[in-house]
Amino acid sequence: MSPTLRGILLKVTAVSIFTVMMALIKETSAEVPTGQQVFYRAFFTLLVVVGWLSARGGFRSALLTSNIKGHLWRSTAGAAAMSLRFFALGVLTFPEVAALGFTTPLILTLLAAIMLGEVVRLFRLTTVALGFVGVLIVLWPSLNLNGDRSTYELFGAIAIIGSASLAALAQIFVRRLVATESTAQIVFYLSFFITVLSLGSIPFGWVVPSFEANVMLIIAGLIGGVGQICLTAAYRNAPASVVAPFDYSSMLLAIAIGYFWFAETPTLWTIAGAIVIILSGVVIIWREQILKGRRNTPDGSLQ
């Protein structure tokens, strides 16, 4: 098997794992507070990451960092993004959360221009604008324009857009971190700091989960760690320009999980909007590779 094909298979495996992980989080949303879900997700992922790094002999080097403040900023943005996404999972349908989560590359394009001084030409601006048209299509029912959605669902839609924005901001921080930090350092400190930060939600109400919820949350954290390793390996085997578009393969799985697991049938608004958002994201990835060459570093994100 060629490295490129291996990279693609690892990326599809990673996004599939993250999609199943999100389903487990959604299943526990009615019982477990968001902050507690974030703790389970980060802590058990941390255990997997530590085991992985130790097996590779890289755990000690992962602890040695010259930019602890950079890791903390990146992790704070990641923790906030995760919290908003987990909240949205308890409010919106599974396909809606998946579709709106794809706005991260669109927002990243704008933030890269503002914060990193990257040149964004008319073509990409037009593509970003088209992507946000797709967002409006998905959100149309939640905006109460047809009167069949609650205000609470509108808050959920705002939360997932906020999550995508913070995830994009976190990737900006990662682009700065990769100048001095390794992937092992970025992944370790992300899991570590999110675990610590999530403990700050204890005063807002943690619960003793049922046995079933405990098992699902532990599995979510553990497979999230496995997904993180697969994601890192995917970018090690193939160029980012090749594997990045396979993020969107999770939309089909999200629709299937929503239908068979949660009895949620995606609306035409969601499907149409998702198609527009995905096309915009793919075009942006393609255009960036033409203009800047291949960026072959993983984003270090914690899904």
What tokens were used for 293? 């060459």
**Does the structure show a pLDDT above 50 at 295?**
no
Per-residue confidence (pLDDT) for residue 294, from 0 to 100:
45
E-only strand ranges, 44-190: none
Share of the chain above pLDDT 70, in %: 91
**Does the structure show a pLDDT above 70 at 296?**
no
Name the pTM for this structure: 0.89
Per-residue confidence (pLDDT) for residue 259, from 0 to 100:
94
Mean pLDDT of 7-12: 90
Per-residue confidence (pLDDT) for residue 33, from 0 to 100:
97
Residue 215 C-beta-side C-alpha neighbours within 13 Å: 3
Per-residue confidence (pLDDT) for residue 286, from 0 to 100:
76
Express each pLDDT in 187-235 by its tens digit.
Answer: 899 999 999 999 999 999 899 999 999 999 999 999 999 998 898 888 8
Per-residue confidence (pLDDT) for residue 246, from 0 to 100:
84
Instruction: Write the CA distances from 50 to 24, 141, 234, 269, integer angstroms.
Output: 23, 43, 19, 42
Express each pLDDT in 37-95 by its tens digit.
Answer: 999 999 999 999 999 999 988 888 889 888 999 999 999 999 999 999 999 999 999 99
